Structure 1
Amino acid sequence: MSEWDDLVSTALVGTDRRPHQGDLLQAAAVEVARRRAGRRAGEAGEQENAPAEERQAVGRRAAERLVRILGGEHERLLPEWLAAAAATGRRAPAYVLPELLERGRRDRSIRGHLGVLAGRRGRWLAGLNPVWGYLLEEPTGQTWELGGAADRRAHLRALRAADPVQARALLESTWERETPDDRAEFVEVLAEGLSIDDEPFLERALDDRRREVRQSAANLLTRLPAARLSRRMAERVRACVTIRREGTGHVIAIEAPTACDKAMERDGVRPKPPRGTGERAWWLQQIIARAPLAVWEHPPARLLAMRIPDWDTEVKAAWVRAAVLQKDPGWARAMFGWDPIADLLDALPPAEQQELAARFVDDHDLDSQLIMVLGGVSCHWHEGLATAVLRKIVKVNTTQPWNLAELVKLAGEHIDPALYEQAEDFSPAEPVQQVAALLRFRADMYKELAP
């Protein structure tokens, strides 16, 4: 039995039944510290010292604020602090690395920033403790030829932003040698600067053995109305849909597919539906979602007013998915009125996202849907949306103050921190002042990280 197992066993049965020499809690604390440090004392043997750092650490005040956040003060701001610090090109101080690496072990979303902030000492620690080994997969700044998977993705992403043609040519030159996992992630990088010139490469990717590669390629081709995949999907929709005049209006008649053949699978239609969804409904939704929206000869607002005797919910859900996949602003606006989900906002420019969200806040009661919509808006919220949210907080505070906690946190975390003075002056209501205090905390955070 290991020393840790012995301590746990003693703690469970009690020291009365299983005596322990010394202070049990103190011994357990020492053992926890040993485990989190990377390896237990006495087992290290010959070990190279940590390499010298190449980057300067963040300033003292910034480091102190990070410690406060890690200690539980506005803990949800940790990703924002990490992103802002990583953007400066500096690193985190050495004494917080064990805690940061442990956080990264539990939270994948912050790992990319830790790859920059951990520095050479962080990678040294990651080499000592297997549970922190994920850090060794994060970008280090190496090149396409010499870097690991994360470095190569970062290199391809930067090259794609600068020269889409050269980036695709580089990927094609090594495609056959890439692992299935890398191929799936490399395809997604091509979303930046996507054009019809990418179609031949993406068409070949539809024949890949890995389902994730095929799905990613199909998603990108769906955004190209002139692509062959889009034309094939349009033909499938035309075979299923008939719009006819009936009385003073129009009816959309649907005959859902009766089978999913190999050609449909190759184009990204998944044959097996999720639990609770019928096969025909599932196939119908996918072909409508992947068909170019121009296949519908009427504008979305008019289509939504038409009667759909069969498959009404499935067709409209597919229109939502199509607007998201194809990032069509006109359809996204229309479908947001039918199903206000945050994913639709991503098809709109940031300023319009905020305008649409502000109107939604004004017209909608405070519930989980409003919280989800706000969570999908690009940061930082500017004055229009900030004012709408603060008005909502003041209004709800007079009727349901117990229901405000999440909205107050969201406002404090997403409103532009430069607006903290406006928030302070907006209302003396306690929840508004809580928002203002959090905005001031974030404003100070950015000042401390400034060059």
Structure 2
Amino acid sequence: MNRTSAPVDAPAPGVWEELVTAALLGTERRTPPGGAAGREAPVALLDAAAVETVRRRAGLRPARAAVRPEPAPEDARAALPAAAARRLALLLADRGGTAGGRRGTAPDLTELLPQWLAAANARGFAAPAHLLPALLDAARGRTDLRPAALAFAGLRAVWLARLNPDWRFALRATPGGGAALPRLEDEEQTRRLWQEGLFAERVALLSALRDRDPAAARELLVTTWQTERAEDRLMFLDSLRTGLGPQDEPFLEQALADRSRNVRATAAELLSALPDSALAARMAVRAGACVSVDRTHAVPTITVQAPRECDASMERDGVVAKAPAGRGERSWWFGQLVEATPLATWSGRLGGRSPGEIVALPVADDWQGELHAAWCRAAVRQRDPDWARALLGAPSAPEAGGPGAVSLAERAKLLGTLDAAERADWVAGFIAAHGLSEAFQLLGVCAVPWAAPLGRSVVDALDIARDAGSYPWSFSGVMGLAERCLDPAEAIHLDGLQAVPDESEHASPGAGGYWAEAFQRLVTTLRLRAAMAEELEG
């Protein structure tokens, strides 16, 4: 049977807003439009809202179809082996954390993810497309993962980031938001991008050009230098660290007169890293006038006469006049002069002595700490291994860090000037003589995987600490480093450390069980790392 529906009256203007108001205030306080007050008012309100909802939807005009996004760029890199892809999925799915803070014997997969990404990038693999969202989610929550994760994801990370605001960090981390730079041989396009591009694009362009042709990059920077903002000049100037050479000196000398104090300081730092620069020579004259050898003592002694003022020429050459709180002005100025002086100056100034002989000289009037600390900074800035060795001293020395290292952080920086093998040997000697209590920062600058002598010195020190009944929690940081940095081949030497030891009467309660868990976890993690490496080999 056919039925003809009665026509529905057109809605009054504003009826939807009236319905919403009645729903918010309640039908006892506001009568729904077209209804009556009373017990039936809520039902009438819902009926009217249902009718109006259908009417509103029927009256909507179709929206214009969105533009279909361009296809994701192809990734020409080699496909990841299937076993390695499965491993990556497991690493990305692991959220880490343990109940009550006790980790047990299971490896911490979240700490292995950075190492896995570094190994995959070194082999030139492309990220599996189906794992890109999980990879970007992981990098979103961990800034330490972002460089390796974005390198592994490639240009597809930028493509996805344009579609999902949660991943916008990929656009910020990629110069120019992933925009392709012009071929550096195309001078017209290069100059146009330099003059008209976004700041991130210009930084990327200058860095790429500096890697390939330092002189061309500097000349491009000169063309707009006077019109750049101070913060931009500082960033552009910092790019000159790559390929820094004597040919950059005239430009840097001009930058010493810049309006910005930070730009002047950076220019001075770069010039002081050029041992034959005019600034280095000026600093050498100033510092040399402050340091001499007094031969009237039984043992030749270094004497220091710090500058009594910081004149305009010193400030122009990068010396900061105002000392930090708690520092004397004269010692502050003196330290800056020595730090910027070429280290080769001191042999001629101090009787032809070698760096080791100079460092061994006594220093009068409590100036030794300031002088040696400045030499430490100079050795790091000038990448001078001879001075670094002299200032580090023997790892077994009572003061452990040598006479010039005033902190573990400075010792770590000095070690960074040595090659990987020498660095590992020095740290192994330090641990053998002094244990692990101060070795954490030093281990952090050693190449991974650790060389065999270094790895065994760490394991031996952990074993000694366990036998002594020490709190295992005090060594959790070093144990975590060992899990990530010890050579996986060392796992076969650790089987005897996985058993629960007999606890002496002086041992911490329950320490034996914790030590056993820690060594079991170490062995399990090393074997997992070995399996990961095999999977990446395919």
Pairwise same-fold verdict (TM > 0.5): yes
Matched, 1:223 2:273: yes
CA contact (8 A) 2:321 2:333 kept: yes
In structure 1, the residue matched to 2:435 is 365
In structure 1, the residue matched to 2:356 is 301
Larger CA Rg, structure 1 vs 2: 2
Separation (CA, whole Å) in 2 of partners of 1:239 and 1:413: 49
SS of aligned partner of 1:273: coil
Matched, 1:404 2:475: yes
Shift of the 104–283 alpha-carbon distance from structure 1 to 2, 3 Å rule, reads farther
CA contact (8 A) 1:51 1:121 kept: no
Q: Percent identity?
A: 40
Amino acid at match of 1:396: A
Quote the RMSD (CA, aligned, Å): 3.3
Separation (CA, whole Å) in 2 of partners of 1:173 and 1:447: 52
Shift of the 180–102 alpha-carbon distance from structure 1 to 2, 3 Å rule, reads farther
Deviation at 1:256, TM superposition (A): 2.1
Separation (CA, whole Å) in 1 of partners of 2:88 and 2:228: 39
Separation (CA, whole Å) in 2 of partners of 1:450 and 1:158: 31
Amino acid at match of 1:63: A
1:317-336 alignment, distance < 5 Å: 317-336=373-392
In structure 2, the residue matched to 1:438 is 525
Amino acid at match of 1:110: L
Matched, 1:281 2:331: yes
Separation (CA, whole Å) in 1 of partners of 2:68 and 2:414: 52
Separation (CA, whole Å) in 2 of partners of 1:448 and 1:273: 55
Matched, 1:197 2:262: no
1:223-262 alignment, distance < 5 Å: 223-262=273-312
Shift of the 219–443 alpha-carbon distance from structure 1 to 2, 3 Å rule, reads farther
Deviation at 1:370, TM superposition (A): 0.7
In structure 2, the residue matched to 1:41 is none
Deviation at 1:97, TM superposition (A): 4.1
More helix by share: 1
In structure 2, the residue matched to 1:58 is 80
CA contact (8 A) 1:223 1:326 kept: yes
CA contact (8 A) 2:210 2:242 kept: yes
Deviation at 1:150, TM superposition (A): 5.8
CA contact (8 A) 1:159 1:166 kept: yes
Matched, 1:394 2:463: yes
Separation (CA, whole Å) in 1 of partners of 2:376 and 2:297: 28
Deviation at 1:106, TM superposition (A): 5.2
Shift of the 413–212 alpha-carbon distance from structure 1 to 2, 3 Å rule, reads farther
Most deviating of 104-113 and 272-281: 104-113
Q: Which runs of 5+ in 2 are unaligned?
A: 1-63, 97-107, 185-189, 394-401, 499-517
Separation (CA, whole Å) in 2 of partners of 1:134 and 1:301: 48
Could you state the TM-score of these two structures normalised by the residue count of structure 1?
A: 0.78
Amino acid at match of 1:142: L
Deviation at 1:359, TM superposition (A): 1.3
Amino acid at match of 2:525: L
Cα distance per residue 1:297-345 (max 9 Å; x no partner):
2333333331321433211211111111111111111112322521001
Most deviating of 427-436 and 158-167: 158-167
In structure 2, the residue matched to 1:37 is none
In structure 1, the residue matched to 2:426 is 356
Deviation at 1:173, TM superposition (A): 5.3
Amino acid at match of 1:58: L
Could you state the TM-score of these two structures normalised by the residue count of structure 2?
A: 0.66
CA contact (8 A) 1:424 1:433 kept: no
Q: Which runs of 5+ in 1 are unaligned?
A: 1-43
Deviation at 1:285, TM superposition (A): 1.3
SS of aligned partner of 2:295: strand
Separation (CA, whole Å) in 1 of partners of 2:322 and 2:142: 31
Amino acid at match of 2:528: F
Deviation at 1:186, TM superposition (A): 4.2
In structure 1, the residue matched to 2:169 is 134
In structure 2, the residue matched to 1:447 is 534
Separation (CA, whole Å) in 2 of partners of 1:61 and 1:266: 60
